[in-house]
Amino acid sequence: MYRRRRIAVVVLMALILGVLGVGVSAAVVAVGSNAAGEAAATPATAPETTPSGDASTPSAAPTETASATPTATPTPSCDPHLITVAASTDKAVYGPSEKPLFTLKVTNGNPIPCEVNVGTKQMEFLVVSGVDRIFSSKDCQATAEDLPKTIAAGGSETANFPWSRVRSIEGCKAATVQPKPGIYVLTASLGATTSSKAVFELK
């Protein structure tokens, strides 16, 4: 009887301990599950990163492209070397009573209109025979005037001078000898520009 009681006590205690063990295990599992839930609910803290620069401030200022300075177009000017002079006579041969008509032609070879002084102050008709100076329109010129005139690009102006077949001397001195029949050479000048030679004959 006594032994039965002891066995019953032992069995009872075993049951109690078993119940306690199951409760502790359940509690441990509950605690573990709770901890895992909290861990899942709380996101991991991302590592802080320090930005290399302020996002609102550009890392480099934009480079401004300087606008090109417009090149001034030079105003074309007249080249005096392109102002040419030509001399001519109305005939190649003149009879004893015929008087030659000399012509000076000035041409503007510039691509733009040019102002040229075509006045008698700048103009000269010169006749020579060999080395002998026969006649100059400046020798007995009563008045000499300036006459600026605009000549179109590629255009020309002419001036005519009738020669009375007389000799002249600088200062308009009297000449005792008159031109004789023969070959003569005419040149025309306008300022510093002189024409090529125009050859004619007096009978």
For 37-73, the pLDDT digits (tens) are 444 444 444 444 344 444 444 444 555 555 556 666 7
Phi, psi of 114 (to 5 degrees): -135, 145
pLDDT score of 47 = 42
- pLDDT at residue 142, as a whole number: 85
Residue 20 φ/ψ, nearest 5 degrees: -65, -40
User: Cα dist. 64→61, 86, 170 in Å?
Assistant: 9, 60, 74
Query: At a CB cut-off of 8 Å and minimum separation 6, what does 134 contact?
Result: 127, 128, 167, 168, 179, 184
- Structural domain boundaries in the chain: 1-39, 80-202
Residues 6+ apart with CB under 8 A from 160: 101, 102, 103, 104
pTM: 0.64
Q: Whose CA is closest to 126, among 115, 137, 111? A: 137
Q: Write out pLDDT tens, residues 143-183.
A: 889 999 999 999 999 999 999 999 999 999 988 889 999 99
The helix/strand/coil state of 85 is strand
**pLDDT tens profile 71-105:** 667 778 999 999 999 999 999 999 999 999 999 99
Q: What are phi and psi of 127, to 5 degrees?
A: -115, 130
Q: Regarding the domain with residue range 80-202, which homologous superfamily does it belong to in the CATH classification? A: Intracellular proteinase inhibitor BsuPI (2.60.40.2360)
